[in-house]
Amino acid sequence: MSPDERDGRAATGTPSSVHLDGITKRFPGVIANDDVDLEVERGTIHALIGENGAGKTTLMNVLYGLYEPTAGTVRIDGEPQTFEDPGDAMDVGIGMIHQHFMLVDTMTVAENVVLGNEPTKWGGIVTDRARANRETQALADRYGLEVEPTELIEEISVGEQQRVEILKTLYRGADILILDEPTAVLTPQEVESLFDILRELIAEGKTIIFITHKLGEALEVADEISVLRTGELVGTVDAETATREELARMMVGRDVLLEVDKPAASRGDLVLDVEDATVEDDRGVVAADSVSLGVHEGEVVGIAGVDGNGQSELIEAITGLRKLTSGTITFDGRDITTDSRRSRVSAGMAYVAEDRQKRSLVMEYELRRNGLLGRQHLRPFSDGRLIDWGATADYVDDVIEAYDVRPTDPSAKAHSLSGGNQQKFIVGREFERDPSLVIASQPTRGVDIGSIEFIHNRLLELRADGKAVLVVSSKLDEVTQLSDRLAVMYDGDLIAVVDPETVTENELGLLMAGERPEDLDLDGARIRGTPA
């Protein structure tokens, strides 16, 4: 069966392609979806937005055949459907592109695309590579997806890998494509080209459902936007007429300040001084090369960059989780280059790690035990030998209350919390210890709008209290809004420090994609050469 034949079922004449009718999905103790109706017209892009835990992914998992709904029906092209598993959903043309790609790194683009449905020759015993390449190329041309079929996955960019994921789904005959947070890993330019691809796909009669919590993207690319809140459908609006404020209100249930209100900085002494830091990654490859950076009291310094350009390794070196190959780190006037992680924590360094489920939380521990993590040797949590569970419980209760962590039960295990609540708990635990330096890596990754606003405000309060704050984020709006100075990292180099007030998103995007600052039309004042 060629891809063209698979596409044969596209036109059946019914206007609505996906019709979810009264979908309810109940888990023990939780109603993830409550009587949700959703109608998606053929040949349109439908954005599904909502906070963490609003039930977006559950709803799509019902549509994709991963969950069976407790009540309600799924109709595709007017036909009621029952899916046992994603294979059944695939059979009626539903494909899902997950946030984390499922590609084999050491295989070529074409091999990944045809994986599981390989064209064969010699009576079915050998993969017909030439035909796989040809079919991949034909499919790519048809939908305007630029890929090179013979390249290896490990050698192509994240944006290209996503295109391969889309091709894979199309090759399997998908008419309805579900994309889960597709822009999370892309540069602004890559996002633009993804949107072009999506527009091309609907022009060809495909239907797209797009899960996001970035309002701007939903408004830009979608035809219609449906908002979920606590498992219920709040409403579906026309993207032409909707506004960001209106959508944010629908998502959160109250008015939200989208812009951060930031008073002028009053910069004090240098707190953190990184000089010529060179750091290797786990494979021994230089990840950050001779990076110099300083953070002062009362100042927020941001580091922007696409994930994987050395930010993580640099931060781990500063926080004491990774050794420096060369260079020095000074903290509060003291050389801490060779200090242990423990002594850095004791000296007042708070750290919200990028990978919260790996680093900042012990997933099997209750919140109470997690409240101790990093401070278990320090008063008032212990005398160095015996843990003071009373003092710990008081502290954890305070954090839960002040940071609105849900559930409010300190004996809840970390893994039972949603990503946003996990993050609020970590942020609270780290911020409330009166640190002199706060390092926050992707502080709002996977966190809903209401909590983002809260975390941003807390960071700015710390700044107002004269703390030094270092924020790493792959979200451009986040770093530009929070930072007083913004450093951009590309391929291990800190290539520029810019003024976030005046730099444009386009310029930042180009810097993040590796354009040298001197090649850009940035005027001299906006490039603050050597930081610190």
Partner 1 sequence: MTDDSGSIRERGSAALDRLVDATAAERITISLASLLFAIIVGAVLVFVSGFVADCADPFIYLPGLGYGCYNPLEVYWTMLTGSFGSMTVIGQTLLQTTLLLFTGLSVAVAFRAGLFNIGTQGQMVLGALATALVVLELAAYVPDNAIGMVIVLSTGVIVGAIVGGFWGMIPGLMKAYANAHEVITTIMLNFVAIGIAFWLVQVHVGDLTTDSVQTETVPAVARFPATISGSRFSVIALIGALLVAAGIYLLYTRTVIGYDLRTSGIQETAAEYGGVNAKRNIVTSMTLSGVLGGIAGAIYVMMVQYRWQAGIPPLGFDGIAVSILAGNNPVGVIPAALLFGSLKTGSVAVDLSLGVPGELVEVLRGLIILFIAMPEFFRMIGKRFGYGNGSVATDGGEAQ
Shorter beta-carbon distance to partner 1: residue 171 or 431: 431
d(C-alpha 243, C-alpha 251), whole Å: 12
CB of 272 to partner 1, least distance (A): 18
**CA atoms within 13 Å, Cβ hemisphere of 234:** 23
**C-alpha closest to that of 423 among 124, 84, 51, 146:** 51
CB of 376 to partner 1, least distance (A): 5
Can you read off the two tokens belonging to residue 67? Answer: 């969950």
CB of 373 to partner 1, least distance (A): 4
CB of 107 to partner 1, least distance (A): 25
CB of 344 to partner 1, least distance (A): 8
Shorter beta-carbon distance to partner 1: residue 33 or 136: 33
Shorter beta-carbon distance to partner 1: residue 210 or 490: 210
CB-CB contact of 487 with 464 (8 Å) = no
CB-CB contact of 47 with 212 (8 Å) = yes
Shorter beta-carbon distance to partner 1: residue 28 or 529: 28
Shorter beta-carbon distance to partner 1: residue 208 or 486: 208
Shorter beta-carbon distance to partner 1: residue 216 or 419: 419
CB-CB contact of 136 with 109 (8 Å) = yes
d(C-alpha 60, C-alpha 81), whole Å: 14
Can you read off the two tokens belonging to residue 72? Answer: 């309600």
Q: Are strands 437-441 and 468-473 parallel, antiparallel or unpaired?
A: parallel
CB of 53 to partner 1, least distance (A): 5
Shorter beta-carbon distance to partner 1: residue 49 or 113: 49
CB of 385 to partner 1, least distance (A): 6
Can you read off the two tokens belonging to residue 372? Answer: 């101790």
d(C-alpha 325, C-alpha 317), whole Å: 10
Shorter beta-carbon distance to partner 1: residue 99 or 137: 99
* Burial label, 122 (beta-carbon count in 10 A; 0-12, 13-18, 19+): exposed
**C-alpha closest to that of 312 among 340, 291, 297:** 291
Cβ partners under 8 Å of residue 487, min gap 6: 293, 301, 302, 303, 304, 494, 496, 497, 498, 531
CB of 360 to partner 1, least distance (A): 6
Shorter beta-carbon distance to partner 1: residue 477 or 515: 477
Shorter beta-carbon distance to partner 1: residue 9 or 342: 342
Within 10 angstroms of residue 511's Cβ, the number of other Cβ atoms is 26
Query: What is the DSSP-derived secondary structure letter of residue 414?
Result: G
Can you read off the two tokens belonging to residue 424? Answer: 């609020």
Shorter beta-carbon distance to partner 1: residue 382 or 436: 382
CB-CB contact of 368 with 410 (8 Å) = yes
CB of 44 to partner 1, least distance (A): 22
CB of 28 to partner 1, least distance (A): 5
Backbone angles phi and psi of 107, in degrees to 5: -110, 165
CB of 386 to partner 1, least distance (A): 6
Assign 509 to helix, strand or coil.
helix
Can you read off the two tokens belonging to residue 213? Answer: 């919590």
Can you read off the two tokens belonging to residue 120? Answer: 């064969």
CB of 37 to partner 1, least distance (A): 16
d(C-alpha 478, C-alpha 372), whole Å: 29
* Burial label, 238 (beta-carbon count in 10 A; 0-12, 13-18, 19+): exposed
Shorter beta-carbon distance to partner 1: residue 382 or 457: 382
Query: What is the DSSP-derived secondary structure letter of residue 413?
Result: B
**C-alpha closest to that of 461 among 434, 488, 497:** 434
Looking at the chain, how many residues does it have? 532
Can you read off the two tokens belonging to residue 65? Answer: 């055949």
